[in-house]
Structure 1
């Protein structure tokens, strides 16, 4: 059947009239949110096809509901870094699943610390989520607070208006450190994610922790220092990736054997993978010569070593972020929610060389 020549915009009422149903029934067919008999739904879709009707105008629908149907997902710095990190991808996947179930679109935006522009200034959103590592404060928060837009985060930004999925970062890092101490390691070192604006990988003065703007990195470093021997070296990586983990490890391991750490606590699995690579390149065996722990619990099949790590399920964390967002949009006042992590012992750690039981 040929479509009639259109002299005006086809409406949902036209489709309903042609299909012989009510407007509410036709609306349910397009929204998918109500029980409609298969034969009726097929008749409505056929009428829409005949009339050239593509569906309800989402802008008009959002205006009626007072909602945009979009949630902003704000990622620190370049999106490139997030898409290279398997843990970040797992979090975003879990979050996307929840938003899809809500019928909500995800607007993925990068927040550049050195940019004066507000990435949300030109966008209508119903909520904002900060799902990954970030700075303690962000000017975006003031903008969103003024617009009364609910915010959910994973530890940052730190603000009374942001509801968080909370991990005991300090306690988790201390758990990884304690594992090495109990294995007899007395020469320990730490590799951190960036503590602020990226700087070339370097040995850190621990007094710099007071100026750290990334709370998760700071707390993990403090957890290490709580249990490590006094004077244990700390290296800050420029980026939390394999290459910078390797660069950090060379600063620690390419030294005289008597000054070389036998255990290294890394703040992410990608950094830990870099440490393992550096150790092997220097002729050191993992864990016979140096034990390595990570943080996240991601799958790294290319590493050929199952890391001992602090396991935090990324997909589950993303789904919890989405659930808190759903509750906020439903008019609830959700509270910040703890998220449990645990030590997973792999084959990258063993007893310290020369210790009892080695």
Structure 2
């Protein structure tokens, strides 16, 4: 009986098995694939030779490369992965995407792309064979990964970013979407309105933003939502940018807007995400302000926040369905079908965090 292969020994190949069994490599391949007529005696000889050589089977990666597919889709998350795992909307998108890709027999390769060193992801992907790549979450307008993957002929799908003709998108009209909540607050009679914005560029801090900041924005979704808010509320409506997409950052931004005399305080705050809106609600409560009696608050996404003692008025953007829409674009691209941009509909979901402004 042959001895087990030792570390450092050359890995046996299908050709080795064929030679030991006295058959052609193509015949040995048919035995392992089960896709061709091979006599039982020949198949037994091949299996015996494989056992003696400790050959576990053809290399699946090599086989998939020969077929032009590896069964893996890169999912580029333009932030630390821990941030995505803490964001319920991001999790819902990834869940929907995974569902669609799994139905197509493909797995996801999560690639974290830090904002302070986006080129690092190029090096990571350079060593990976992938069938397609997806940018499922908020991202930069320009991403160095795109040129690398386009040069390799890898199909690319995004959700509004990166802004490149080589990327097919599931798009939300961000300006019109934020207009749903902004118009709702204005229609309730609020005249002093403000907004809590997502970061407009990497390295953001919690501070008031201006028109100059808007023109220098690098994140298209935050830029679009801010443009939509100012288009309805007016260019003088105050806006505070949150340092990151967390409840804590939303609370810090909310305090900057609300911790002031009543006559100067906004009575309506339009936040660019539900997590930021939840932070604004916490800031209001910490300052002794009633929501919605003294200040109305709106969000964006429509995620489940069971720990919040209110139902946010928000823009409903079903994350899981958005992820499935991204997955369908990937599947179409891999099937060789045309992949145009797809519009993703959103809707206003009224909740218990908005009401007419206080009298007086």
- Alpha-carbon offset, residue 68 of structure 1: 2.1
Equivalent residues in 2 for 1:183-198 (5 A)? 183-198=188-203
- 2:154 maps to 1:152: no
Alignment partner, residue 218 of structure 1: 223
- Between the two proteins, the alignment pairs up a number of residues equal to 332
- Alpha-carbon offset, residue 63 of structure 1: 2.4
CA contact (8 A) 1:206 1:234 kept: no
- Alpha-carbon offset, residue 56 of structure 1: 4.6
Alignment partner, residue 285 of structure 2: 280
CA contact (8 A) 1:188 1:229 kept: no
Deviations 1:159-204 (A, max 9, x none): 0010000101100101110000111100000000000012220011
- 2:337 maps to 1:335: no
Q: Does the residue aligned with 2:127 lie in a helix, a strand or coil?
A: coil
Alignment partner, residue 231 of structure 1: 236
Deviations 1:48-71 (A, max 9, x none): 9x9587555211221221222211
**2:77 paired residue among 70, 75, 78:** 75
CA contact (8 A) 2:73 2:109 kept: yes
Q: Quick one: structure 1 residues 283 and 222, their matched pair in 2 at CA, closer, same or farther if it must change by over 3 Å?
A: same
Structure 2: distance between partners of 1:126 and 1:273: 39
Q: Quick one: structure 1 residues 55 and 97, their matched pair in 2 at CA, closer, same or farther if it must change by over 3 Å?
A: farther
- Alpha-carbon offset, residue 325 of structure 1: 0.5
- Alpha-carbon offset, residue 4 of structure 1: 8.6
- Which stretch has the larger CA shift, 161-170 or 97-106? 97-106
- Alpha-carbon offset, residue 80 of structure 1: 1.4
Equivalent residues in 2 for 1:110-129 (5 A)? 110-115=112-117, 116-117=119-120, 118=122, 119-129=124-134
CA contact (8 A) 1:249 1:275 kept: yes
Alignment partner, residue 38 of structure 2: none
Alignment partner, residue 351 of structure 1: 356
- 2:181 maps to 1:168: no
Structure 2: distance between partners of 1:222 and 1:53: 62
Structure 2: distance between partners of 1:344 and 1:132: 22
Alignment partner, residue 109 of structure 2: 107
Q: Which runs of 5+ in 1 are unaligned?
A: 30-43
Q: Quick one: structure 1 residues 54 and 275, their matched pair in 2 at CA, closer, same or farther if it must change by over 3 Å?
A: farther
Structure 1: distance between partners of 2:116 and 2:324: 30
**2:266 paired residue among 258, 261, 271:** 261
Structure 2: distance between partners of 1:133 and 1:347: 27
Structure 2: distance between partners of 1:77 and 1:163: 21
The TM-score with structure 2 as length reference comes to 0.85
Alignment partner, residue 317 of structure 2: 312
Q: Quick one: structure 1 residues 10 and 175, their matched pair in 2 at CA, closer, same or farther if it must change by over 3 Å?
A: same
Equivalent residues in 2 for 1:52-67 (5 A)? 56-67=58-69
Q: Quick one: structure 1 residues 121 and 227, their matched pair in 2 at CA, closer, same or farther if it must change by over 3 Å?
A: same
Q: Which runs of 5+ in 2 are unaligned?
A: 6-10, 36-43
The TM-score with structure 1 as length reference comes to 0.86
- Alpha-carbon offset, residue 5 of structure 1: 6.8
Structure 1: distance between partners of 2:185 and 2:31: 64
Deviations 1:45-100 (A, max 9, x none): xx99x958755521122122122221110011211111110000000011111111
Structure 1: distance between partners of 2:34 and 2:252: 58
